[in-house]
Amino acid sequence: MLLKAENIIKKFDDSLVLDGISLEVKEGEVVVIIGPSGSGKSTILRCLTQLEQVDSGRIELDGKLMVDTVDGKTVYSNSKILHKLILDVGLVFQNFNLFPHYSVLRNIVDPQVKVLNRSKEEATKIAMELLDKMNLADRGDSYPCELSGGQQQRIAIARALALNPKILFFDEPTSALDPELTGEILKVIRSLAQEKMTMVIVTHEMAFAREVADRVIFMDNGNIVEQGTPEEVFGNSVNQRTKDFLQRYSNS
Amino acid sequence: MKIDGVPIDLLTKNMLLATGNVLQIFFLTILFSIPLGFIVALARGSRFKIISVPTRIYQLIFRGTPLMLQLFFFMYGPYYLFDIGFGRFNACIIAFVVNYAAYFGEIFRGGIASIPKGQYEAAKVLGYSKFQTFMRIILPQVVKHVMPATGNEFMTLVKDTSLAQVISVGEIYNVATNASSRYFSTVPLIVAGLFYFIMNTVVELSFKVIEKKLDYYRT
């Protein structure tokens, strides 16, 4: 098991956002998380990428322990291990969050050089290969503000991939895009899936979820309500809440 | 050449000499108050009240009282309190630095607050350290953001140097008032006005150039 999260509880002030959720991801698996807004989909990703601290629970990634709760006490590992764990994950944001003052190429090169201590030549070579893969080889010298949302998101994916993460998280990667631009992002994710990249994707693109996922998870109220293969969840969901949710989606 | 009985060439020469002092006050204030302003901005945003509250009180005092009084305070305060002094020029620089750092602190604080949370989050997930994140990702964007307000402060500072005369630090306004009373004429004051205006035109043009240079990206 590449990723193992157990009994994660996360509260914001008084509201319970994650209610004891457990999640396992195998190497090479593509997991898609769907569910209504406020169900905790993004929060679980943010906990797994250390952007939020869990209130209790246990997270293990690639054999390294991030956090554990023993006898009611939640303790995070030391900063050295946490830094290693950060390098194991990549996160693609809804709003891209590219660095606007860096050129496209530098957005991808700088983290490699500064965080992984790669040489500039090597980092540039890797960046160019990734840009080529994203069909953006000619945009290396552009600045993010000169690109469309779809192009920016592809750069953000390349930036994450350049650090060779073991697992890549997507937090609604197409939600900020015009409908005609979502296709290019989904194409990239699809090709990553073919390369057996381990991915956890939060999305509202149901058709895409059905197509790309090895496993679909339906979340509501901070926990998993139902999970299974796309056929099981979309085809004949057993849970009423899942049915209602999918019903609303197919009507809209 | 004389206008209204004022020997213009002599006056200009004296003012040019005084301009050296003005430029010294100007550049020394900038040199010290900008780094100090950044520290103030960070201290102000600190999670620890023991740091942020005193910083806020300092800013309130130095933004809330006249710079003129602060000049007097740093000039004569140490004599009364400790029987020592900084000396005229040093007292003047200290007053300007402490005063301007309070304002710069506020400007930089606003600049830092304007950077979207997503920038910090992206940097964190990529593995940048906190220091790297600030120096490489946040600071360059803050610099661009605070440029217009900083240009404002620079122009105000040029004019504020005229306050140094209250503790008898020789500068342009000082020369102007002396000449004005000697020749019973307002011409020296107008010439002084021209000097300030020319210096600020240079400041304004410089900031236009810098802002243009930083215009290669938008946030």
**Nearest to A173, CA basis, from A215, A137, A208:** A208
**Beta strand A199-202 with A56-61: parallel, antiparallel or unpaired?**
unpaired
Q: Is B31 helix (H, G, I), strand (E, B) or coil?
A: helix
Question: Which pLDDT belongs to residue B5?
Answer: 73
Q: Is the pLDDT of residue A224 over 60?
A: yes
Confidence of residue A251 (pLDDT cuts 50, 70, 90): low
Tokens representing A198 are: 């381990």
- Chain A closest CA to B151's CA: distance in Å? 21
Per the prediction, chain B carries an average pLDDT of: 91
Give A183-204 pLDDT, tens digit per residue: 888 889 999 999 999 999 999 8
Which residue of B120, B126, B136 to mutate against A (max A Cβ within 10 Å)? B126
- In angstroms, the Cα distances linking A232 to A211, B15, B93 are 13, 87, 75
pLDDT at A252: 54
Residues 6+ apart with CB under 8 A from A218: A33, A34, A35, A224, A225, A226, A227, A233, A237, A239, A241, A242, A245
Residues 156-195 of B with CB under 8 A from A: none
Confidence (pLDDT) at B184: 87
Cα dihedral sign, B177-B182-B186-B187:
negative
The answer to whether the CB atoms of A115 and B127 lie below 8 A apart is yes
CB contact under 8 A, B128 and A89: no
Residue A98 corresponds to which tokens in the numbers above? Answer: 């590219």
The string of pLDDT tens digits covering residues A47-71 is 999 999 999 999 999 999 999 999 8
How far is the C-alpha of B132 from the C-alpha of B134, rounded, in Å? Answer: 5
Q: How far apart are CA B84 and CA B77, in angstroms?
A: 9
Which H helix or E strand runs over B23?
Answer: helix B8-44
CB A127 within 8 Å of CB A109: yes
Report, as an integer, the average pLDDT of B154-162. 93
- Calculate ∠ Cα A154-A89-A220, nearest 5°: 85
- List phi, psi (to 5°) of A30: -115, 115
Dist. CA A4–CA A61, nearest whole Å: 6
- pLDDT the model gives residue A239: 85
Whether residue A87 lies within 8 A of chain B, CB to CB, comes out as: yes
Distance from CA of A172 to the nearest CA of B (A): 14
Cα separation, A178 vs A56, whole angstroms: 38
Does B136 sit within 8 Å of A114, measured CB to CB?
A: yes
User: Residue B73 corresponds to which amino acid?
Assistant: F
Q: Which pairing describes strands A215-220 and A199-202: parallel, antiparallel, or unpaired?
A: unpaired
Tokens (6 digits) for B33: 């108050």
Which chain B residue is nearest to residue A111, measuring alpha carbons?
B126
CB contact (8 A) between residue A86 and residue B218: no
In chain B, residues with a C-beta closer than 8 Å to the C-beta of A107 are: none
A172 Cβ contact partners less than 8 Å away, ≥ 6 residues apart:
A42, A94, A202, A203, A204
Contact residues on chain A for B139, CB-CB shorter than 8 A: none
Kindly tell me if the per-residue pLDDT of A249 is higher than 80: no
Report residue B46 as tokens.
């600190």
| Span A125-181, pLDDT tens digits | 999 999 999 999 999 999 999 999 999 999 999 999 999 999 999 999 998 888 888
Contact B172, B194 (CB under 8 A): no
Q: What is the 3-state secondary structure of chain A?
A: CCEEEEEEEEEECCEEEEEEEEEEECCCCEEEEECCCCCCHHHHHHHHCCCCCCCEEEEEECCEEEEEEECCEEEECCHHHHHHHHHHEEEECCCCCCCCCCCHHHHHHHHHHHHCCCCHHHHHHHHHHHHHHCCCHHHCCCCHHHCCHHHHHHHHHHHHHCCCCCEEEEECCCCCCCHHHHHHHHHHHHHHHHCCCCEEEECCCHHHHHHHCCEEEEEECCEEEEEECHHHHHHCCCCHHHHHHHHHHHHC
> For residue B3, what is the enclosing H or E element?
strand B2-3
Tell whether ipTM is more than 0.85. Answer: yes
| pLDDT, tens digit, 9 for 90 and up, residues B35-91 | 999 999 999 988 899 999 999 999 999 999 999 999 999 988 888 888 887 888 999
Nearest to A44 by CA among A19, A62, A64, A68: A19
Are residues A51 and B219, on separate chains, in Cβ contact within 8 Å?
Answer: no
| Cα Rg of chain B, angstroms | 21
B125 → closest Cβ in A91, A99, A143: A91
**Mean pLDDT for the stretch of residues A91-99:** 95
Determine if the pTM surpasses 0.95: no
> Contact, B57 vs B127, CB < 8 A?
no
Lowest mean pLDDT among A62-66, A243-247, B20-24, B134-138: A243-247
- Is-contact A159 B126, C-beta < 8 A? yes
- Asked whether the beta carbons of B37 and B104 are under 8 A apart, the reply is yes
Helix (H), strand (E) counts: chain B: 9, 2
Classify B127 as helix, strand or coil.
coil
Contact of A115 with chain B, judged by CB distance below 8 Å, is answered with yes
Nearest-by-Cβ selection for B127 from A101, A143, A163: A163
